[in-house]
Amino acid sequence: MDLEIALVMPDHVHLIFTPLIHHDRSRVYTLSEILWAIKSAAAHRINKALGRSGKVWQEEYFDHIVRRSESLNQKIEYVRENPVRAGLVGKSADYAWTWSAPRPRAAAAAATLPH
């Protein structure tokens, strides 16, 4: 997947990404396949770090399809500002649990979306 932004909050995670093509099956990876892979890998690492086993994540997730470049940029900013709205930091740049793609990649991806 091409990840635009990932942000871990105390009780949930935000991800904005473009799914990749599963070349062996000539189709796009499904959201459930992507989330299973992420949650499985993270759960193994979390459980190992904490010296425990068992379930880490809830089964549910909420998705939203972004169809326009304006929406992509708005959603990225919404995710980036989430810790500020939650009162965790004064400005989004101070939140340590955020990763985002360099802006040129995000801008290039947005340019391929219909306006």
- Give tens-digit pLDDT for 72-106: 889 999 999 999 999 999 999 999 999 998 865 54
pTM flag (> 0.75): no
Which fold is adopted by the domain 2-111? Alpha-Beta Plaits (3.30.70)
**Cβ–Cβ < 8 Å for 51, 58:** no
- DSSP tag of 58: -
| Residue among 69, 66, 81, 76 at smallest CA distance from 111 | 69
Average pLDDT on 58-63 reads 79
Structure tokens at 81: 């500002």
Task: Assign 109 a pLDDT band (cuts: 50, 70, 90).
Answer: low
Tokens 């740049």 correspond to: 93
Could you give the percent of the chain with pLDDT greater than 90? 43
Exposure string for 31-59, b = 16+ CB within 10 A, e = fewer: eeebbeebbeeeeeeeeeeeeeeeeeeee
